[in-house]
Structure 1
């Protein structure tokens, strides 16, 4: 097999947004097939390139996923590489990027077993509401929004989350409700396309319900997205940089997704071919 397009058992034929990649690779003469990432029957030595795509249970067992990636990376070409997957599957990477000058959404970190008085934090920071999330998570799993009136409940929830690992506490950005997030999608360090995404939290008010492509026109925002890749130090086969507007009107990095982000290939007619050609170049 030339390319194993990696997914998980709950989505054996790939996400509908990204399924067009397999035929695009086929048009280049490459044998590409969906493969369950943790299928014990796969001999990775017979795969020319393993592409992490819809491995959407990896955050539920990060240690096993990181160990698997290390093994596969030694047997074939893995993209993105194992060291990148390890780095990106714990949100401490945001601290590293911020230290390199990237404008990141303000974050208070609670260490494992720690506590935080959310009411005091809200008063000190002048925030009206907070978002709580584990440092190892995806798809808004165990992510909560609490307004100022529920600060005591938020404090208790922080303790619950910290009993399991590191916790991020951030201001709730009201622009999510109208703008959502903007995702800039790069292949081999070059911008492919951009997508407006509604809030991940289903309970959040939203000005639109489905992701939609847009043409980037904000040069400063695009520069921020590009600066994230520069801070990471090398071009990656794929990267999705998610930004949003903070409550003071500034664009900030929310996350950089270089493990298993949805790439929204179906929203741009040329995107499947661009990614397929980037993959072929690695072979």
Structure 2
């Protein structure tokens, strides 16, 4: 909990509203999850390293109580091949090639005019992710081969240079836009695989354009769920034509940047309280 500034604020806001709120590790032993009216996933930041265990926990917990976001959504969102589903539904996403284990990478897939980004399809916090300049295509291919050798699905994306103007992260609560931030680029050094890098550098409040909000709403409408997610973060970047494009759709355990957004905290706590009260009735 001491690593997650958002979590501390959420728990306190819920307690201030009269709720009984606890922060419990998802993998804690002998937890009776059915004693909670609502379980909200927050900083389960090790889920990608233990994906099988985590998804099994989510499915089991969802049978015992109300889980948010739902286990089906968590499972879908845990593998970035969901970008293919979004693209099929007309959402503007970063063009992505997925390479399955057992497939031999093709050098040409790593030769892009602006360079490429290589990362695993199941990952969080830019772990095992790097970008490569056009002359580093051999290094990019070697990176992909390393991941494939570990039995992991690989993503290859064009490096969109306008990310250097900042990534946009739009936060939604119960399907309604709440607030946004802009942060600096993460992959600042080409050809460097650095798993200790800061995942959210130079965070600043941001007012998104109407086009950016519309793009994010279109992405959320494509989520395979009847109800909107309790919380969601849509990460956008401008493509070469300055069109907002979805980089990632974060529905499992995103940083919601609530420390400097008291209204966002109020909205989230209110939605959590309402869902818990509904589940208890």
The reply to whether TM is greater than 0.5 is yes
Q: 2:269 is matched with which residue?
A: 276
**Which region of structure 1 is more displaced relative to structure 2, 87-96 or 154-163?**
154-163
Deviation at 1:14, TM superposition (A): 5.0
Q: Distance in 1 between matches of 2:25 and 2:37?
A: 16
Q: Distance in 2 between matches of 1:260 and 1:27?
A: 23
Q: Distance in 2 between matches of 1:145 and 1:95?
A: 21
1:157 aligned to 2:143?
yes
1:110-163 Cα deviation digits (max 9, x unpaired): 111223234x2355xx52210001000011111011111111121122111122
Q: Distance in 2 between matches of 1:249 and 1:186?
A: 23
Change (3 A) 1:19 1:197: farther
TM-score normalised by L of structure 1:
0.89
Deviation at 1:58, TM superposition (A): 0.4
Deviation at 1:53, TM superposition (A): 0.4
Determine which of 27, 30, 41 is the counterpart of 2:30: 41
Q: Distance in 2 between matches of 1:75 and 1:239?
A: 23
Change (3 A) 1:260 1:274: same
Deviation at 1:174, TM superposition (A): 1.3
Change (3 A) 1:202 1:129: closer
Q: Distance in 1 between matches of 2:45 and 2:188?
A: 18
**Which region of structure 1 is more displaced relative to structure 2, 138-147 or 247-256?**
247-256
Q: 1:29 is matched with which residue?
A: 18
Q: Secondary structure at the match of 1:192?
A: strand
Q: Distance in 2 between matches of 1:214 and 1:278?
A: 23
5+ unaligned residues in a row in structure 2: which ranges? 191-197, 277-281
Determine which of 197, 206, 231 is the counterpart of 1:214: 206
Q: 1:121 is matched with which residue?
A: 109
Higher strand share: 1
Q: Which runs of 4+ in 1 moved over 4 A?
A: none
Q: 1:61 is matched with which residue?
A: 50
**Which region of structure 1 is more displaced relative to structure 2, 23-32 or 52-61?**
23-32
Q: Secondary structure at the match of 2:254?
A: coil
Q: Secondary structure at the match of 1:86?
A: helix
- Assess if the C-alpha contact under 8 Å between 2:147 and 2:154 holds in 1: yes
- Assess if the C-alpha contact under 8 Å between 1:20 and 1:272 holds in 2: yes
1:210-253 Cα deviation digits (max 9, x unpaired): 2111222x111110000011111531100001100123322210
Deviation at 1:45, TM superposition (A): 1.5
Q: 1:137 is matched with which residue?
A: 123
- Assess if the C-alpha contact under 8 Å between 2:114 and 2:160 holds in 1: no
Deviation at 1:277, TM superposition (A): 0.5
Q: Secondary structure at the match of 2:259?
A: helix
Q: 2:183 is matched with which residue?
A: 197
5+ unaligned residues in a row in structure 1: which ranges? 1-11
1:225 aligned to 2:216?
yes
CA RMSD of aligned residues (A): 2.0
Change (3 A) 1:150 1:53: same
1:101 aligned to 2:90?
yes
Q: Distance in 1 between matches of 2:145 and 2:102?
A: 7
TM-score normalised by L of structure 2:
0.89
Q: 1:112 is matched with which residue?
A: 101
- Assess if the C-alpha contact under 8 Å between 1:145 and 1:172 holds in 2: yes
